[in-house]
Amino acid sequence: MSETLIQCRALSKTYTRGPEKIEVLQQLDLDIPKGDFVALMGPSGSGKTTLLNLIGGLDNPSSGEIRIGDKRIDQLSSKALAAWRAEHVGFVFQFYNLMPVLTAARNVELPLLLTALSAGDRKRRVEVALKLVGLADRAGHKPNELSGGQEQRVAIARAIVADPTLLVCDEPTGDLDRKTADEILSLLQTLNTELGKTIVMVTHDPKAAEYAKRTLHLDKGQLVDEPGA
């Protein structure tokens, strides 16, 4: 195996709801090597999204370490995290989360607005990304003129356009039919094998997990060997 990209040590996340304390993640250790494609499964409420958000730098842990590449991100300020995300992470969500008022191309361009690229360079990168997800001919369409699968492809193009090392996907096929889901999953697989993107994907669908190189199971905030138990 190659070098480790994601390293979590004694990672905990606790929410306080009134007087109650909910330990969503408990002392979790996790290593994911560069170039891996990991499926994260587990019952609803087990903390998958929480873990994913921590890895993607959307949230800070209550305690423990997260090292991505050679950078500790667990204690970064929200401003530093934002800059780090822009450079290193791409996100794909269950409900695509595109801007409804922007065309596909403009949606994909969003992360590039944060770079120093010129308008021309941005345009070229957007074209490349859209071509990669097979939607070059839909660049001018608004999200509501696209099918669910197409919207998710636009979202993937947006996730990869700034060329991040890590892709973080939360139930990317949760809202799609089998056939479309398979297309999206193959696309992710290609991104993993051809472009070497490291992917962490949460899913409830065992079939989807088969596209990944390995599957991790989360239950009650801890990694377990086998589902259920």
Partner 1 sequence: MKYFRLVLSQLFAKKTRTILTMLSLLMAFLLFGLLQAVNVAFNRGTSIEGASRIVTQARVSFTSALPLRLLPQIEAVDGIEAVMYQQWFGAYYQEPNRQMVAFAVDPRRLRQVITEWELPSEQWDAFANTRTGMIVGKTLADQYDWKVGDKVPLSSNIWPQSDGNMSWALDVVGIFDSSDPATQPQLAYLNFDYFDEERQFGKGGAGIYVSRLGDPKDAERVSKEIDQMFQNSTDETKSQSEQEFNLNFVRQLGDINLIVSSILGAVFFTILLLTGNTMAQSVRERIPQLAVLKTLGFTDGTVQMLVLAESFVLIGIGALLGMAVATVLGMGMVGFLGGSGSVVNLQVWAYALVSVIVLSLLVGLPPAWRARRLKIVDALAGR
Counting every residue written for the chain, the total comes to 229
79 binds, among Mg ion, ligand ATP, partner 1, none (CB under 5 to 8 A by kind): partner 1
Of the candidate residues 6, 36, 47, 49, the single one contacting Mg ion (CB under 5 A): 49
Question: Six-digit token pair at 210?
Answer: 């088969």
Query: Is 50 a binder of ligand ATP (CB under 6 A)?
Result: yes
Pairwise CA distance, residues 110 & 143, whole Å: 14
Query: Is 94 a binder of Mg ion (CB under 5 A)?
Result: no
44 binds, among ligand ATP, Mg ion, partner 1, none (CB under 5 to 8 A by kind): ligand ATP
Using alpha carbons, list the distances in angstroms from residue 165 to 18, 90, 115, 195, 228: 38, 8, 16, 10, 32
Pairwise CA distance, residues 92 & 159, whole Å: 7
Tell me if 68 sits within 8 A of 37, measured CB to CB. no
Query: Is 23 a binder of partner 1 (CB under 8 A)?
Result: no
Query: Is 91 a binder of partner 1 (CB under 8 A)?
Result: yes
Query: Is 46 a binder of ligand ATP (CB under 6 A)?
Result: yes
Q: What is the sign of the dihedral through the CA atoms of 57, 218, 163 and 152?
A: negative
Q: Interior CA angle at 59 toward 53 and 61, to 5°?
A: 100
Strands 4-17 and 20-33: antiparallel
Nearest distance, CB of residue 162 and partner 1, angstroms: 8
Query: Is 42 a binder of partner 1 (CB under 8 A)?
Result: no
Query: Is 173 a binder of Mg ion (CB under 5 A)?
Result: no
47 binds, among partner 1, ligand ATP, Mg ion, none (CB under 5 to 8 A by kind): ligand ATP
Of the candidate residues 27, 29, 45, 99, the single one contacting ligand ATP (CB under 6 A): 45
Of the candidate residues 100, 120, 225, 229, the single one contacting partner 1 (CB under 8 A): 100
Query: Is 158 a binder of partner 1 (CB under 8 A)?
Result: yes
Q: Interior CA angle at 206 toward 205 and 208, to 5°?
A: 70
Exposed/middle/buried for 50, CB within 10 Å: 0-12, 13-18, 19+?
buried
Can you give the binding site for partner 1, defined by CB under 8 A?
A: 49-50, 53, 56, 58-59, 78-79, 82-87, 91, 93, 97, 99-102, 106, 110-111, 113-114, 119, 158, 162
Can you give the binding site for ligand ATP, defined by CB under 6 A?
A: 15, 17, 22, 24, 42, 44-50
